[in-house]
Structure 1
Amino acid sequence: MGFGQKAWRNVRKDLLQELQSMPSLYKDLIYGPKRYEEFKHALNFDKTGYAKKEYWMSMPDMGYLIATYYKVIVIYLSNAQCLTLLPLMLPSELHDLELPEIAIGFVKIGNKGHFVQVNLSSGLVPIPPISSEWHKNNDETAEHLYLRYQAREEKFKQVLPSAHVAGVTKIMDLDDDSA
């Protein structure tokens, strides 16, 4: 987001605020009440030092909160799954503006996983499919976004074999060797 590493507390606070602003939507989107409570718990961490696994932010699920709260496009890339997350709703004053794009990659080093920022080339680079959950849960104020990104999504599908493209969300366990 460009806030710097010391702003992590504010980002967590922002995402928690977003999660709690529409509980019924996010409970449906993030697999029900139990997972919703897990997200609230994970985001409600502000201690210094190492965070236990229960406080880790997971992708791509947190991507919905990031995209919607910050009004950005989140592009998630990994060997297991690639997808694009759009804001679930968008104020009318932003309808004609280009939204910033944030690309996040999941990289496996040994048996540990790390999220890294991915810098995409400028221009209309291919993007992974728009999340199927976005198609099911977006508000009419954001519906027009799909038309804006549809051609780039189609280019991505042509470049990458379908075996590497997933349109559904999956929780990625950073300690799981299969992730």
Structure 2
Amino acid sequence: MKDVDGDGNYGFRTIVGLLGLGENDWVQVRHDLLLELNNHRDEYVVLHESHKRVEELTHILSYFEDSPSFDCWMTMPDMGYLIASFYNVVLYHLSLQQCLTFLPLRSPPVTLADRRAIAIGFVNGNHFVQVQVVLEADHPVPSIVVLWRVHHHPYASEWENAYVSRVQKFKDNIGPNVATREIFHVVDID
């Protein structure tokens, strides 16, 4: 694991480090993700079921200064879709509370040999870190986000094929307190 500067841009600093850029290139990631969101705004409104959430993400991504306030920090799982889709990577989000896999929404899959996977960890309830991992060819992976299955373009469908058995391996090895879905339906038991 590699820690990054905790100035409030740490989520974006984590991504640039994993992409091989300098930690101070976090502004570029904000620009890239804002471009992704704006270029495919209608799709993200449908995915998030809300114009309001897309406007909130626009607000978060539009902050280009040091030390942003809490309302401009990177949020997951929302940003996972943007990161995977803009950079055409497989993104693993890992924490004690939630583990998820994000796949690109619109691109056809690249070969396994050319596929790039990056992993971020969420620690201490408020900080992202780079997870530098060397993964075996058939390593377990967290569940693919539910909204990807619902909202990906048909020509992106094949991304999932390489991960079906690996997702099951992951589920077989985690405890019951780790969420493997990004959304939950609240049920009133009264």
TM range (shorter): 0.7 to 0.9
SS in structure 1 of the partner of residue 154 of structure 2? coil
**2-structure distance, mates of 1:8, 1:151:** 35
- SS of structure 2 residue aligned to 1:75: strand
User: TM-score, normalised on structure 2?
Assistant: 0.80
Where in structure 2 are the equivalents of 1:94-113 lying within 5 Å?
Answer: 95-97=110-112, 98-108=114-124, 113=126
TM-superposed CA distance for 1:62, in Å, is: 0.3
Task: Name structure 1 gaps, 5 residues minimum.
Answer: 171-179
The yes-or-no answer on 1:129 pairing with 2:143 is: yes
Partner of 2:99: 82
Cα distance in 2, alignment partners of residues 59 and 168 from structure 1: 9
| Contact persistence 2:88–2:104 (CA under 8 A) | yes
Contact residue 157 and residue 165 of structure 1 kept, 8 A: no
Q: CA deviation at 1:60?
A: 1.8
Aligned to 1:153: 167
User: What are the Cα deviations for residues 81-119 of structure 1, in whole angstroms up to 9, with x where unaligned?
Assistant: 11101000114xx533532111111111xxx62101112
- What is the aligned residue count? 164
Kindly indicate whether the alpha-carbon contact (under 8 Å) linking 1:13 and 1:43 is maintained by their aligned counterparts in 2. Answer: yes
Kindly indicate whether the alpha-carbon contact (under 8 Å) linking 1:72 and 1:87 is maintained by their aligned counterparts in 2.
Answer: yes
* Letter paired with 1:38: E
Contact 2:106 2:152 in 1 (8 A): yes
Q: What is the aligned partner in structure 2 of residue 177 from structure 1?
A: none
Among all aligned residue pairs of Structure 1 and Structure 2, give the percentage whose two residues are the same amino acid: 38
Partner of 1:69: 86
Mapped to 2, the partners of 1:28 and 1:155 lie a distance apart of 31
**Alpha carbon RMSD of aligned pairs, Å?**
1.7
What are structure 2's unaligned runs of at least 5 residues? Answer: 1-18, 185-190
Q: Is 1:167 paired with 2:181?
A: yes
CA distance in 2, matches of 1:169, 1:117: 24
Partner SS, residue 126 of structure 2: strand
Say which of 53, 72, 78 aligns to 1:55. 72
Equivalent position SS for 1:27: helix
